[in-house]
Amino acid sequence: MVDAARARKLADRIQQIVAEMLERRIKDPRLGFVTVTDTRITADLREATVFYTVFGSDAERADSAAALESAKGVIRSEVGRQTGVRFTPTLTFKHDPLPDSARQLDDLISAARARDAEVAERAQSASYAGEADPYRKPEEDEQDGPSAL
C-alpha cells in the first residue's frame, strides 16, 4: 500500500495527461467533446479509473466511448512515460453521470421554486377564515372581570 497523498497526486497527474492527450494527440473522428472530470486510482496504484463526460447525444456518447477504448493503449503508454512509475496503471474509462444528475436536480429545483412563487402569489390575495388575530389579548381579560376558578 502507498500513501494516500501520493495516490491522489498520481491520479491528478493521470487526469492531466489524459486530458492533454485527448485534446492534442488523439485524432479519432468518433471522439466528441469529451471532458475528463475525475480520476481515481486504487491503493496499490495498479488500476486507474478515468471519469469523463461527453457533450451531446447518446449516439455521440457511445462513439466517444468506443474511441476512448481504442485509444486506451496509446494513452496508457503516454501515462507511463510521463509519470515514471514502475508499473503503469491500467486505465478504465467510465462515463460520469454527475453532470446529468446535476442538470436533473436543477430542473427539479426550478420547478419547486415556480410552485413556491405560485403559492406565495395565492397567499397575498387570501383572507383569513375567521378573525385576523384569533388570540385573546391580556387587556380583554381584565375588562371581562375576575375569572371564577
The pLDDT of residue 147 is: 57
pLDDT along the chain (149 residues), means of 10: 85 93 86 89 93 87 90 92 91 85 88 92 82 76 58
The pLDDT of residue 91 is: 94
Contacts of residue 25, Cβ cutoff 8 Å, sequence gap at least 6: 74, 78
The pLDDT of residue 144 is: 59
According to DSSP, the β-strands at 33-41 and 90-95 are: unpaired
Task: For 39-76, write each residue's pLDDT tens digit.
Answer: 999 999 999 999 999 888 888 889 989 999 999 999 99
| Cut 0.85: pTM above it | no
- The 10 Å CB-count burial string (b at 16+, else e) for 114-142 is eeeeeeeeeeeeeeeeeeeeeeeeeeeee
CB-based contact 44:56 (threshold 8 Å)? no
The region, left, alpha or beta by phi > 0 then psi within -120 to 50, assigned to residue 78 is alpha
